[in-house]
């Protein structure tokens, strides 16, 4: 099992809510082991070069360090790879929240042309043709090779991803255990700003007993909208028509850079959601650059400045964070 950066000591759940698994997911060792094998298997792509871990790399806090995800054949997507650490606590999956759970999210990359590039039949053929996988699915789900379905793949990978928990950081020990030695003086000043005048915690939330550093809601920083603002009517109409015709939403947003910038609107078709994206957690954020849904922000410092600017825009006044407030 990969070592999760930021999870220290004998209680990796410190600062995190309790993990509650769905009834269908018994979290047996067999399902977790199977999910881990699937997650790291490059054979499960159309050219044998891409696995889930190609984009969700353990050493990078399960991100990839690239602006945009790269799939089989070197194909480039339209979204930055989010970390899957603590993804079990997300109330929706993907930047636009188009999937409600890990189980429904996990199979999608296999069938996207810019990711693994398979179709359901090809994926199942690969799995059914491997005696080790046939045995593993039988142990995990009590199914024969012929009864193996894509849903089993999603449940197995979700079982593994539910183990990717990272709490017990210096922040958690400082905030929830009262260990004042866990944070440096500058980090403590930063936390005071984070909770106070910078208003970061209004979206990157910290609760009384846990801290997910996300409100699991959708917000707009205006990123990416500049490239489509003159064509919004045409783009929104095209997306609505595609949805009415039953187009695959994931295929649409990962194959068209302009449609990808519409954000949550692609799911809700509500104009108020144009350009809104899910608030990412800040767990291990120092390891997951570049930032934002399109990977257009290179550094954490730039991301913080951008967030503060738009926070002021939302309030109708600039946030004044002078050196005096930081001392």
The residues spanned by each domain of the chain are 29-161
What does the pLDDT average to over 175-201? 94
Q: What is the DSSP letter of 179?
A: -
Mean pLDDT, range 128-136, rounded to an integer: 98
C-alpha 82/C-alpha 67 separation (Å) is 11
Question: What CATH architecture applies to the domain 29-161?
Answer: Orthogonal Bundle (1.10)
Locate 152 and state its tokens. 């089993």
Tokens of 239: 């997306």
Which helix (H) or strand (E) element contains residue 304? helix 300-315
Nearest in space to 17 (alpha carbons), one of 192, 178, 205: 205
In percent, how much of the chain has pLDDT > 90? 81
Long-range contact pairs involving 271-274 (C-beta distance under 8 Å, separation at least 24): 271/236, 273/218, 274/220, 274/225, 274/232, 274/236
Q: Element (H or E) spanning 218, and its range?
A: strand 218-219
- For residues 86-114, average pLDDT: 97
**Does residue 91 register a pLDDT over 80?**
yes
First to last CA, the chain: 42
CB 198 within 8 A of CB 240: no
205 band by pLDDT with thresholds 50, 70 and 90: very high
Q: Return the pLDDT at 320.
A: 74
Q: Is the pLDDT of residue 48 over 90?
A: yes
For helices 150-161 and 131-141, angle between their N-to-C axes, nearest 10 degrees:
80
């Amino acid at each position: 099992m990969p070592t999760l950066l930021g999870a220290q000591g004998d209680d990796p759940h410190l600062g995190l809510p309790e993990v509650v698994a769905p009834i269908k997911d018994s979290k047996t060792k067999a399902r977790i082991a199977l999910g881990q094998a699937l997650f790291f298997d490059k054979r499960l792509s159309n050219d044998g070069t891409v696995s889930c871990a190609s984009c969700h790399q353990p050493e990078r806090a399960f991100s990839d360090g690239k602006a945009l995800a790269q799939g089989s054949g070197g194909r480039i997507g339209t979204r930055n790879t989010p970390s899957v650490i603590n993804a079990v606590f997300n109330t929706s999956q993907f930047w636009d929240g188009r999937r409600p759970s890990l189980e429904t999210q996990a199979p999608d990359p296999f069938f996207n042309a810019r990711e693994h590039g398979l179709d359901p039949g090809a994926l199942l053929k690969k799995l059914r043709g491997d005696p080790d996988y046939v045995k593993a699915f039988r142990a995990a789900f009590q199914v024969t090779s012929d009864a193996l379905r894509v849903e089993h793949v999603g449940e197995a990978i979700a079982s593994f991803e539910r183990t990717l928990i990272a709490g017990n950081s210096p922040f958690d020990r400082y905030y929830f255990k009262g260990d004042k030695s866990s944070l440096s003086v500058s980090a403590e000043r930063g936390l005071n700003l984070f909770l106070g005048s910078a208003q970061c915690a209004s979206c990157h939330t910290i609760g009384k007993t846990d801290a997910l550093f996300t409100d699991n809601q959708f917000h707009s920083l205006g990123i990416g909208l500049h490239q489509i603002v003159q064509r919004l009517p045409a783009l929104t109409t095209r997306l609505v028509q595609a949805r009415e015709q039953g187009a695959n939403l994931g295929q649409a947003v990962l194959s068209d850079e302009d449609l990808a910038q519409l954000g949550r609107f692609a799911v809700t078709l509500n104009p108020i959601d144009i350009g809104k994206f899910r608030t990412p957690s800040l767990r291990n954020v120092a390891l997951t650059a570049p930032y934002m849904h399109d990977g257009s922000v290179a550094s954490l410092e730039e991301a913080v400045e951008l967030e503060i600017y738009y926070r002021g825009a939302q309030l109708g006044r600039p946030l004044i964070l002078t050196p005096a407030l930081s001392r």
